[in-house]
Amino acid sequence: MGRRLVSQDHSFLAQALKCRLPDQKMEPKSHWFFWKEGDFLKIASFVGAILLSFTSLVWAEPVVSRDWTSGLSLDETTQKEICWASTQAITGGAPAELMLKFQKDRQSVPTAFLKVWSGLAADPQLLIKMSAQRSNALFLYEPARKEEDPSVYAYAPIEFPALLSLIASANNLEIKSTAAKLLVSLKGSSAALQNLRKCMGGTEPLPLDFLKSLNAKTENLPNQTHPSAKDMLAKVEEAYQSYLQKTAKDKELKDLRATMKPTLAKEATAQKTYDTALKAWQKTTDQLAAEKLKERNLQDGLAASKSELTRQEAELVVAQQDLAQKKAIYEPLKKEMEPFVQDVAKKDKALQAANQEIKRLKNRIPTIESRISSLRRENSNLSSEIDDLDRRISSARSELDSRDWDVRRFNASSEISSRLFHSWEYSRAEGRIRDLEGAASRAEREWDRARSDLRDLERQYDACRAVPEQNCQSQESAVNQKRNEVRSLESRRDQAIREKWSAENDRERIRREIESQVQRELSDLESKRDQAANVLRDLESRKRSAENQQSSNQSEIRQLQNELAYARKKLPELEASVPSLEQALLQSQQARDAKSAAIGYANAEAQFQAASTRVTTLQKEIPALKKTITKTESDLKKIKPVIAQLEKTLEKQTTTRDQALTKLQPLQEALKPSREIESGLLTVIEDLARRFESAKIDYQSHYRQLLGLK
């Protein structure tokens, strides 16, 4: 479809004229208005500015959707096709225009601009009401340079999808400034946005993934020296270009890896085979080296052990000969010294025994004295306890006698008879029984008489019936009447008997209750008597125990007194004997030492002990060395077949490893150019990611500072 250059037609001018100027009232159905000359000049200036603002765009036929217009135009500056949607149906303040611009090839970030013809005065930011709780900012992008020029506001791409959704669905869009509230008509906006979407190819016009990444929260933002909306949008565009380039490079990398995929799969299989073979080869190599090192260590250890064994066996012969010589000298001297040594030992033992006994007696005397004092205090306490127990036993015996007398004088049979005699309920029950017995006897007699009369009437009735055609109704009636009377009297008799039985049961119940009460009282008396007897037995037992303990303590005191008397007598004797024992020991030691020095015994003994120790040590070490040699030789025999098997296995694994490497190397060479390209792409992608992140941080920093946030 061809394009042609067009100017703003009458419909566009009509759209502009429909804008409601400040302080101007318009009739709802009028198409022609009359203004003062000054107002007309304002309108003309506004329309001219609108026309001039689009001189950089080559327009195709726009589509008018009520208050909104949309279309496709060529930007003469960038020579790029622009899909756009705009409206000038904005009331509540100065003339204004809201425009949405989307580059058709999607190589630039979509933008939203608001132009306001409010003269040279311009707010630094306006607020678009997104909901009852939040608003988003329009920042002053380019202030008016002349009275007739517009001030341009730019929308930061925060919640761009939500803004488009709001424009498409709401009735009005509210934009607040410090002095006014602009209401943007959204009549036709949905159709205009649909047309814009078709212009963009029918797909989502916004780069949603980019916007999400761009607005992802970043901590510790830097401060901008001169924050501005132009620099902010420039950083957005810079981030978008980095994003587009990175996306393209990501696709290029993905395509490259797709071409590499078959060879990569083969390489991975070959690499896995090679790694497995190399791992097995390395493991066997390490095992073989370890076994050979072990073999060398065993061989070195065996040689050292054999050399040491030879040396020690030769040394043992010499040591045994030396020991025999030393023993020949030492043994006669030892026999000569034995009487002196034994005499020293005997006198030393006597001195030690005396000192030990002195120490024991010195420790024992205070212990005995303390124990005697303790036993005497205990016996004194026991005497007091026995006296107290005697008093309590006397009282307990009196209590037991009293309780036993209470039991013996309590006659249960007499008590029951007495209580029955004085029981009003029992007497009343007996009286009622007598009355009911009389009533029952009378009822029995009346019943017997009635039955006798009934038999007489029945005989008369039977006699009457025996006479043919005799009227026996009066007899029959008399019989029936009498039978009813008999039944009634029988019922009265039975009732009297039942009442008598009931009265007898009441009397028996009262008797049982009284007997039970008496028995409980007797049991209580017996229980108290038994408790008193138990108390007495316990007190008597405690007294016997105290007396036995007192007697035992007295016996122990006598024994301790005898032991104390002996210790006090013996201790001075022992202490007096110590100096003489020490003198005797000293003389014996001097005699022994003099003899030893005279015959050279100490030197002979030391030489003999050293020679004996050397022989004993060698006799222990030589068998241990022989055992070590035997074990080492056994280990060497075991390790040789292990090494042989490992060498055979290693030879096979080396062949397998080399074959796997032969298959792997051509695949790696084939992938080398692609890997170099891949490495370059990854470097570029990382650089683009850093550039995107840097631009994103600067954008968010500009945005927060423009909002006045820290």
Contact 706, 125 (CB under 8 A): yes
Please calculate the CA angle 113-114-115 and round it to the nearest 5 degrees. 120
State how far the Cα of 683 lies from the Cα of 685, in Å rounded to an integer: 5
CA-CA-CA-CA torsion sign (497, 501, 503, 504)? positive
Strand duo 96-103 + 80-87: pairing: antiparallel
Residue type at position 104? K
3-class SS at 133?
coil
The token duo for 63 is 């589509």
Predicted pLDDT of residue 195: 95
DSSP string, 164-209: HHHHHH-SEEEEE-SS-EEEEE-TTHHHHHHHHHHHTTSS--S-HH
**Which residues of the chain fall short of a pLDDT of 50?**
1-59
Contact 322, 610 (CB under 8 A): no
Contact 139, 232 (CB under 8 A): yes
HEC per residue, 418-444: HHHHCCHHHHHHHHHHHHHHHHHHHHH
Contact 175, 126 (CB under 8 A): yes
Average pLDDT along the chain: 87
Predicted pLDDT of residue 19: 34
What's the distance, CA 430 to chain centroid? 83
State how far the Cα of 498 lies from the Cα of 693, in Å rounded to an integer: 114
Predicted pLDDT of residue 33: 28
Predicted pLDDT of residue 636: 93
pTM here is: 0.46
Backbone dihedral angles phi then psi of residue 432, each to the nearest 5 degrees: -65, -40
Secondary structure letter of residue 294 according to DSSP: H
160-169 and 189-199 helices, crossing angle to 10°: 130
State how far the Cα of 458 lies from the Cα of 483, in Å rounded to an integer: 10
State how far the Cα of 42 lies from the Cα of 29, in Å rounded to an integer: 23
- How many Cβ atoms from other residues are within 10 Å of residue 512's Cβ? 10
Length of the chain: 710
CA-CA-CA-CA torsion sign (269, 273, 278, 280)? positive
Backbone dihedral angles phi then psi of residue 468, each to the nearest 5 degrees: -65, 145
What b/e sequence results for 635-657 when a residue is b if at least 16 CB atoms lie within 10 Å of its CB, and e otherwise? eeeeeeeeeeebeebbeebeebb
The token duo for 349 is 């033992």
State how far the Cα of 619 lies from the Cα of 609, in Å rounded to an integer: 15
How far is residue 466 from each of residues 456, 460, 475, 483, measured CA to CA in Å?
15, 10, 13, 21
